[in-house]
Structure formats: C-alpha cells, structure tokens
Amino acid sequence: MDAPEDRDVKLQKVSGDLLLRFQESLPRLLHEDGSTGPPRSTIDSKEVDSMRVLIEPFQESPQLLDPYLNSFLTPLTSAFLALLDTSNAKTSPPPLAKLTGFDRTEISSHEAIARLLYTLCKIRGPKIITRFLPSEPRWLEPLTHLLTPRSTESSSSWQFRFILLLWLSHLLLTPFDLSTISTPSTEPIPLPEHLDIKELPDLSRRLLQLAIAHLASPGNRESETASLLIIRLCVRKDMRFLGLLPAMVSWCIDTFSIQQESTDSAYTSLFRKVGVLSVLAGLLAQVDRIAITPFIMPIFRLVQRIETEYGKEWDSANIRRLGTKIYRWVAILSLAREGGEKREDNIAEDIIERLLNSLGDRDTAVRLGASKSLAAISRKLPPDMAGDVLEAVMGIYEEDIFYSPPHGPNRKKMLTAVNAEKWHGATLTLATFLRERAVRSTDVLERVVHCIITSLSFEQRRTTFAAGGNVRDAACYAAWSLSRSYTTDELKAVGNFDQRGFIQQVLATELIVAGTLDPLGNIRRAASAALQELVGRHPGMVEEGIKVVQIVDYNAVALRRRSVAKVAAEAAELGSGYWHGITSGMIEGWRGIGSGDVDGRKLSGDGLGELIYIALPDDDEHPGDEMAKRVVETISSLLRRIQADGKDDIEIYHGATWALASAILVVPPDVFTAIKSSLLLPPFEKLTGNEFLNTLLRPELTAESTSRLVFALCLLDPLPIPAIRLYIAILEASLDRNEDTVLQQAVPAARRLVALSSLPNRERLIASWNRRASSNRKKRGCILALGEVLPFLPSSTDLRKATVSSLLKAAASEEVECRVAGITAISRGILSEEDSTEDVIQTIVNSLDDYEVDSRGDVGSWVRSEGIKAVSEHWERLGDEDAQWEVLERIVRLCAERLDRLRVRACEALVRISESEKWKDLVEYIDIEMLKSEISTTSVSSPKYFTSLILLLNHPRLSTPFLKGLVLSAGAGSDSLLKTSRAALLSFLSDTSPKPILSTLTSLLPHERTTIPTLEVISAILESIPCTPPASLFPSVQKAHYKSANHGRLSAAVRVYGGIYMNENKPGRKAVVDKLVAMLNHPFPKIREGAAEVLVGVTGCLGNETNGKAIEALAGWDWLGGGKERGAVVKKVRGCFDAQ
C-alpha cells in the first residue's frame, strides 16, 4: 500500500535501456555468429531467463513495449521458422533439454523462442502479439507436425504448446481451402466418432486431433488456445460445408452425457469439460446467427442441466464463468431471431434471473462475466424491459440495509449486513451499463450516480481483514464509464445533484477523496484515472480541473504517505469544496482517522494537520479569520467524533486524538482561545485508567495518542491545575509501558509538562520517577523521561545527583532494554548540559564493550549503538585526552566489526572526530573522503571501505583495537564481508612484515569471544603469506583448544597447525607434526579427517619415497569411521614423519 518507491516511474526512466538491451541481445541469443547467420539449434536456459527478466517488469506498463514489438517479434519468428524444414512435412521435433555441466541446461531454440514469445503474450496480450506472427499458409503443415510429437511428451513445456496452438489458430484465418494445403497422411488419424467425417482433409484431422488432446490441459492458457483453434476451424466456410459445425456441437454435448462418462474416463475430466464449454461459447459468439440457430436450444438445455443436475461440476468457477457467457449469447441470439415467439422472451427472462443471481457469486470472474452478460442482453431488450433489469440491479443496493438511528433526518446507512460480493457484481454491472449507454433516463442516471458514490466509500470491517476494495475499484470503473460515455449536456440535464452542483463536480470531489485517502494503492490510482477522464471529457465543468488532474496524478497517488500528506493538501487548496470533502473524508467514516490500520490513522491525522490551516481561493480580504473559523469547525467535528464514536471504538479514539494533536501542533495557539476549555479535559472524559492496563482494550493505542495530545495541549499554556494533574496521570501510565511507539510520544510530553510545572511540583514528580526507575521492576519510560527533564533541575542539588545516580544504575542494569535507555538518557540529559565525570565516561566505555547475547541474538549491539551515538554527539565533553583515547580505541574497533549498522555509526563518529582540530592527525591513517562516500551509500562492506581504514594497523595506539574488530569481520563475518575484509588485510600484509600482526593476533587468542575468528585469520595469513610464525604462536594455539569440545575451535586450530608447519624450519616442525598426528586419534571424526587432510597437504616437505608412503597411509583410511586398526595407521604415519 505504501511502496518504498514509485516502481512505474522508475520503470519509465529505465525502460529505454532495458528494451534496447533486449533488442541488442536477440541476435546473440538466436544466431551462432551473433548477427544474421544460421540460427542456433540449442540455447542455454539461463540466457533465456536473463532475457525474460529484462521485459517482465513491464507487466504493469505494457504500452511501453509497443514501439519495440516489431523489432522483437520479427527476429524471433524468423529464427523459429528458419529451423523448420519446409521441404519435409514431417519436421523432426526439437531436441530435448539436456545438462551440459556447470549447471547449464541446453534447451532447443524452438523451446527458448516459445518461452520468450509467451512472456511477450503475458505482458501485451495474445491478441496484440498475433498481429506480428507470420500468416503465410505454407507454415500450417510444418507447425502442425512440430506440435504432433510434442502432444504426448511430458518434457515439452506448456509455453511451447501454447505458442504453437496460438500460431496455428492465427494461420487458420487463411482464405484458402484447407484441402488445397493439406498433404495426405500415410497413417490413419483417429478422431472421435462424431467428428470422424471422411471428407475432412488430413490437415484438418490433425489439427482437430491436436486441439482435442489439449482441451483437457490443466493450464488455462493451453486449453483456451486449443478451444480457439477448434472454433477457428469450425467457423471456416469449407469446414462448415463438410458438416464440421453440427458434428462439433453434437460431440461437445455428448461429452457431458452419462453414457460417455461411463465408457471413457478422459471425457470425464473437469478440465476437458471446461474446454468443451469454451468451444460452445466461442461458437455461439463467432458463428453467424443463421448457422448457429439450430443449436441454440440444445446448448442452452445443456448448461441448464449442468447447473441443476451436475452440481459438482457447477462448483467450478470456470464452469460457472463459461455458463454465464453461454447464457449471454443464447439470450442475444434468441432475442435477435426474426418472428420470435413468446418462448424467446421466457428464455431471456430466465437467463436474466440466473445472471442476476450470479452477481453475488463468490468468484470475481463469474461476477464480471454476469455483469457483462446483463449489459449485453439489456442492449437488445426493449427500453422498458432494459429499465426493469437496471432496476433489479440497483435494488441490490437496498438489500439488507440498516439505518442508524432507525428514523429521523440524520440517519445513516449501515452496510455491515450487506453482501459485498453482490455489491461488487452490481457495481460492475452499472459500469458496463454506463459503458454501453444503457441508462437513458435522467432520473435513473441520478440514482446510478448515488450508487456509484456510495460504492466509492464501501467498506466492511471483518475480524482480521476488511472487505470492499473490489467494490470501490468497480465504482471507479463505473465513474470512468460514466465520464466517457455521456456528454456534458446529458449529465447537466440531471440538474443540481443533492444540492451540491452538477454531477461532474460532485463526482470529481468524491474521486479526489478516494484518490487521496483510500488505503489501497490500486484504488487510488483507479480514482485518479477516472478523475482524469472526467476532467478531459467534460471541460469547464470541474473547478480548477487541469490543476486537479496535475495534482491528483496517477503516479503521485501511488505512495499512500505522499497522497495523504501532500497530494491531499495541495488538492484542498484549490477550492473550499475540495477542502471540505477531504477533511470530511479524514474525520468521518472508515477512512482517515477511522482506518483499520495504525499507520493509516496516524498518517491521516498528520495529513489533517497539513491542510487544516491553509488559505483557500474563495476566502475574503481577511483570510486569517476564515482560516481560524475552519479550524474551529474541524476541531469541533473531531471532538464530536471522539465523544460519539471514540467511547466505544478504541481505533477511532486513537485516530481522532492523534489528529487533534496534529491540528493543535500546526495552528497558532491564539486560534483556540474560544474553544480552549473544550480541548483541555473533554477529550479524556472516557478514560478511567483501565484503558492503560487491560490488554483487550489495546492500551498501547490509548497511551500513544493521549501522550501526543498532552504534548500538543501543553502549548496552550497556562493550564489549569486539574488539567495538569490529569496529564501527569496519563503520562505516568504511559511511561509504565515498554512499546517504543508509546515512549516516543510520552517522553517528549513529559519534558514539556515538567517545563510548565512549578519547581516544587517538578521536584516531586522527578523524585517519584527516580523511585520507579530505581525499583526492582525498572521502567524504560521513567529512565528516558529522567534524561529529558534533568536539565530543568538546578546543578549541585541532591535531587540532581540522585537522578544522575539513577541513570548510571540504569546503564549498568541487568536488563538490556534498561541499559539502552540509560545510555540514551545520559546522552540527552547529562552530556548535553555539562562535561562528563569519571563515572559517566566509564559508563560510556562499558556500553561500547557490551556484547551480551541471549535468545534474541546480539542484544548488546543495541547498547553499543547507543553508546556510539552518544560519543558522536558529545565527543568534546568526554573528559580529558586519556579518557578520549580510551573511547576512541573502542570506536576504531567497532568500525571494523561485523555488524553493518554498527560499522556505519562508528565510522560516522570516527569521521566526525578526525575532523576536529585536536584529532586531525588521524587523517594520515584513514581516507576520510572515501569513508564519507562509502557511508553515504551505506557500502561499509565494500573493499574500498576496509582499504580506507587498513592503515590504522600502522597507528602506534589504535593498531591493536582496530585489529580486534577486523578479526571479527575477517574471521567470522558473512561471506561477502569476510572476503572483502580479509582481502584488505592480506593486501596490507603483502607489503610489510606480517610477524608483528601475528604476534598481536596471538595475544588475542585467550579472549573467548575472538578465539575462533583469530584462529581463522591466523591460518589465512600463514597460508597466503610466507613468514616465520612467532615462537609463542604454537603453545598459544594449544592452550586455546585445550580440552575444548568446540568443533569450530578445533577445526581452526588444525588449520593453523598446518600453516605453522609449512612456514616453520625443520627443528620447529616436529612438535607441530606430533600434535597433528596425535589429533588423528581425536574422538571427533571431523577433527580426525581435518588433521589427515592437513597432513596430506604438508607431505610435500617429505622425501619422494616417504611422501608416497605417508599419502598412502593417510588417504587409504576412512578417518570418519572407527576400527581397531586406526592405531597402526597412525603409527605408520608417525613413522613417515619421524623419518624426515
């Protein structure tokens, strides 16, 4: 509903590049020489997929393909046909897909081209694509034979069969008799008994055989093209002359017979029956009336029988959809018969009744088909009967309607009991009626517009979801149809619509409201399209029509946040009618502050704040007075909504109070002077305290919105004592909650309320928060609030010292959430006002070393993140130079650690520190401009990022801290992070001696958190760069995995031993070999296997004869298994190395 970006706008910008790449890649894909040479016989499927990826984004904007279709389809179809051997009718089938190694799957060129053609059909539609297919009759036979062996092969793709069937159906439009094209077959071509006409050409028989075989396909695309092929064949003049049409109708009807079901299971397939009905519907639609007339009643009775007797088949949505289509054509053809009798009228009435019932079908496709059918039939009816059908459709809008209150002039319709599916079907029908100009009376047209406007705001709230989006979408289509089909004079003839002006203006206002406030993006866009059609077709009838269309643009309303906050305000500025319509939409009903989702209500409240205090074109010479008047009216409406609906509906109360707060925050306080008494206490009258505690009442919503309202009302200073007491109670209840959304509103409100309090009241309130923050059940809210209000306490007072002590205790709490809140409060309260003390500095340092891990993961990173933020904001206040060095060491370490978000923050802090005058020498060790560039693109895992920092390894004081952080990225980071950080380290060490770095890494081995990553980095260095390892490395590695059961630690240690052996001199190798050979008896199979692999790798240091014996002994034993003979093998291996 609120996408992160405008995908269609972005697509339009890059469409030219994507389509040009597709066009330029086609010759390389299709031809062996990459230009115009012979076509390739096989193509890599990955190449085809990469081509499809280039054009699949155009499904939502298919018109962008139109200028390129000819340049795409001509080479595709030419290559496809070039692979056919036209000299031999029995064209051999394309080769099957085969694996060629390295995950390459070669498929036939026919298959590859068919997949690309299908993708184009999926995007632009088969009717458009078939215009570009070659239509020479000479291709009928080759394409038919190409499909024949594929019809029973499971390996062929359905896209291939779909394209061939579509192409063949297109070729059947040829005006030549098929008997002149057909080649006699050497083998009999079996057909069902009804269709076995001896005079049929063999080509026709083959086409019928293929089409019937594919009718039962589970895929709609394949089945639909097979039925199209049959229809095209039957409507041909030469085939009708041979009697194919009656034979096909007879076969289709007999497909549903009981006798046929019992003898041939293939004909009982539901998919086949769907295909058969599709054939019958197509024949009714495409065969001329005289030829099809004898078969109308049999087909009608068949569908009646399916509906009444074959209930199981009628349960299929496809069967019902095709049934409505057949009903439509039966009624139209019956009404069009010359000298029609009363029976035809009865048939039409029966069909209309069935279609009206189908408007409430559970499947959208059936409802759409029924609506189209009703409109098409009504067009053939006399005006009075067509009016009766329209009345029956509009009667659906009065079914199951309740009113609240039941009587009186202000009663409102309640749509909770109506059938949403019926409303959708009825609205689609009205849209189709309007599209066909079937509404002729101005009185009826006025009622139709009423139905459209009601449907534009239709919504049914269910337990877990909301229904009605399809109704509103259909209403937009109806508004579009009305605008397109009726002239300006015809709509003006309706007169003053509901005392609101002409229909065009009223409908424009409703569409603007829907286009800016509807929660569904497709409906906002549909409303924008209908509005554009309305303004364009009826110039001068909509106020500021051109500007309205430019503002409520199809692309502008795509993002909900933009449409509610920006587009709505800009549209409201164009006229008072638009302003009142949008504000009413935000305040009243289910849209706006009554939205079912939290973000939607908050967004609408913020949007109301954007437009509540704006000048309108029709304001008089004193716009400020008019603006203030509108503000008072809007606030009064919000208060009425709070009092009327907010008492029982927590969502409406949440949205209304949020909107009220947003309005107060943007309007000058003196505007509220007249209604100040109505704002301070009445919005909170429903609160009893239980709303903040009972989970069934969703207390987080009440706490969030009321805290925000308190924050806003504090602007209306001075406040009476009862109001302050009430606000304090609300905020204390809100501060007891732990939701971030609540605290984001409650903490600033607490600061503002404390600022308005007298010093004694302020101290009492802060003292109570201190007690609650220091209790066993620590409250995050109270901790954060203490940080906000600390600046209001005089310095050197006992209360201030107690508050600082509470914050320091919170930062050292066992609960990670309290530690995060404590660091945040220290940053906002202490560091923002005064230089830090030793305790505060130590607390910040501890926060940067917080690595707590629980079931949620590295929760200590939350604390480290807040600590980095505090350092970045208050670096100059962090004590003397020694204290700052201590902090800087940790910032440098965090710049290289493995969490991306922490590296970003830490790097930002490092850049800020290095830009200060006192610490400008750091620039010699970091590439500050490159770091800024990487931070701006959040590319803190790129090679450039680590290269910009790697010179810190030369810093006399920051080398070790930086290496501590780098070890975690280069030894335990994600794959991409590990590669980039390790590459930067190895590149640095290749230009300098790695021994100092290895010595530093050795000193890190005792640290539990970094042991395994350090071992991994050491092994990588020893394997990549020849060097003499430090003497302390081998005993340190032994100590690191002594009596350890950690598999990762043991495996890394084994690899380090291998690296030590390869870089150690002969005297130093014996201890390493002894250790590796001893690990061949380790109880863990994987460790034994790893030790054996390392020993195999180092056998190159032995003599040739000894080398062979060692490898034979190591490779000839299953180290993952057991066996008593393992000891002898280990002894043999030891002997080989002892003999070195």
Residues 966-987: tens digit of each pLDDT = 999 888 878 888 899 999 999 9
In angstroms, the CA 1049 to CA 1000 distance is 19
Q: Which of 825, 842, 821, 843 is nearest to 833 (CA)?
A: 825
* Kind and range of the H or E run holding 106: strand 105-108
Q: Which of 492, 344, 421, 315 is nearest to 429 (CA)?
A: 421
When pLDDT is cut at 50, 70 and 90, the band that residue 1116 belongs to is low
In angstroms, the CA 1005 to CA 1024 distance is 20
Which pLDDT value is given to residue 679? 92
Q: And the tokens for 1069?
A: 């190798």
Residue-wise burial string across 469-491, b where 16 or more C-beta atoms lie within 10 A, e elsewhere: bbbbbbbbbbbbbbbebbeeebb
Phi and psi angles of residue 118, each rounded to the nearest 5 degrees, phi first: -65, -40
Instruction: Return mean pLDDT, the chain.
Output: 86
When pLDDT is cut at 50, 70 and 90, the band that residue 263 belongs to is very low
Lowest mean pLDDT among 170-184, 402-416, 824-838: 402-416
Which pLDDT value is given to residue 151? 42
What's the pTM value of the predicted model, to 2 decimals? 0.82
Judge whether 892 and 962 are in contact, CB under 8 Å. yes
Which pLDDT value is given to residue 967? 92
Q: Which of 81, 65, 72, 91 is nearest to 11 (CA)?
A: 65
The pLDDT of residue 124 is above 70: yes
**Percent of the chain whose predicted confidence (pLDDT) is above 70:** 91
pLDDT in tens, 861-918: 999 999 999 999 988 888 888 889 999 999 999 999 988 889 889 999 999 999 888 8
Q: Looking up tokens 């517009």, which residue turns up?
A: 449
Task: Name the region of 133 (left: φ>0; alpha: ψ -120 to 50; beta: rest).
Answer: beta
Which pLDDT value is given to residue 28? 87
How wide is the angle at C-alpha 190 spanned by C-alphas 187 and 193, nearest 5°?
150
Which pLDDT value is given to residue 106? 83
Question: DSSP of 429-489, one letter per residue?
Answer: HHHHHHHTT----HHHHHHHHHHHHHHHT--EE-SS-EE-HHHHHHHHHHHHHHHHHS-HH
pLDDT in tens, 673-689: 889 999 999 999 989 98
Which pLDDT value is given to residue 734? 93
* Strand intervals (E) in 307-422: 402-404, 412-414
In angstroms, the CA 855 to CA 871 distance is 28
Phi and psi angles of residue 1082, each rounded to the nearest 5 degrees, phi first: -65, 145
In angstroms, the CA 901 to CA 289 distance is 72
Judge whether 419 and 426 are in contact, CB under 8 Å. no
Which pLDDT value is given to residue 835? 61
Q: How many CA atoms lie within 13 A of 533 on its CB side?
A: 20
Question: DSSP of 663-699, one letter per residue?
Answer: HHHHS-GGGGGGGHHHHHSGGGTT--SGGGT-GGG-H
Which pLDDT value is given to residue 88? 44
DSSP designation for 39: B
Question: DSSP of 316-344, one letter per residue?
Answer: SHHHHHHHHHHHHHHHHHHHTSTT--HHH
Query: 180-189, 502-511, 1086-1095: which has the highest mean pLDDT?
Result: 502-511
Burial level of 40, CB count in 10 A (0-12/13-18/19+)? buried
**Percent of the chain whose predicted confidence (pLDDT) is above 90:** 44
In angstroms, the CA 354 to CA 331 distance is 12
Measured from the Cβ of residue 307, the count of other Cβ atoms closer than 10 Å reads 16
Judge whether 516 and 465 are in contact, CB under 8 Å. no
What residues does 43 pair with on adjacent strands? 107
Q: Which of 352, 322, 133, 80 is nearest to 223 (CA)?
A: 322
Cα 812 from chain centroid? 40
When pLDDT is cut at 50, 70 and 90, the band that residue 993 belongs to is confident
Which pLDDT value is given to residue 786? 92
Judge whether 528 and 554 are in contact, CB under 8 Å. yes
The pLDDT of residue 190 is above 90: no
In angstroms, the CA 681 to CA 721 distance is 11
Residue ranges covered by each domain of the chain: 1-133, 390-635, 1065-1140
DSSP designation for 14: H
Measured from the Cβ of residue 363, the count of other Cβ atoms closer than 10 Å reads 15
- Classified as helix, coil or strand, 108 is strand
The pLDDT of residue 427 is above 70: yes
| Whole-number Cα distances in Å, 342 to 334, 335, 582 | 11, 10, 53
The pLDDT of residue 415 is above 50: yes
Q: And the tokens for 1034?
A: 């081998």
In angstroms, the CA 364 to CA 376 distance is 18
DSSP designation for 776: S
pLDDT in tens, 550-603: 999 988 998 899 999 999 999 999 999 999 999 999 998 888 899 989 999 999
Cα 885 from chain centroid? 46
Question: DSSP of 484-523, one letter per residue?
Answer: HHS-HHHHHTT-SGGGS--HHHHHHHHHHHHHHH-S-HHH
In angstroms, the CA 566 to CA 560 distance is 10
Burial level of 64, CB count in 10 A (0-12/13-18/19+)? buried
Handedness of CA 1074, 1077, 1079, 1083 (dihedral sign): negative
Long-range CB contacts (< 8 A, 24+ apart) of 956-963? 957/885, 957/889, 958/888, 958/889, 958/892, 958/925, 959/1000, 960/1000, 961/889, 961/890, 961/892, 961/893, 962/892, 962/893, 962/895, 962/896, 963/997, 963/1000, 963/1001, 963/1004
When pLDDT is cut at 50, 70 and 90, the band that residue 1 belongs to is very low
Question: DSSP of 833-890, one letter per residue?
Answer: TS---HHHHHHHHHHHT----BTTB-THHHHHHHHHHHHHHSGGGS-SHHHHHHHHHH
1023 or 709, which is more confident: 709
pLDDT in tens, 231-252: 999 999 989 999 999 999 999 9
Helices and strands: H and E segment counts in the chain? 57, 7
The pLDDT of residue 467 is above 90: no
pLDDT in tens, 1089-1111: 888 888 877 766 555 555 666 67
Q: Stretch 306-319: mean pLDDT, rounded?
A: 82
- Total residue count of the chain as it appears in this document: 1140
Q: Stretch 1016-1029: mean pLDDT, rounded?
A: 88
Q: For residue 555, give the amino acid letter.
A: N
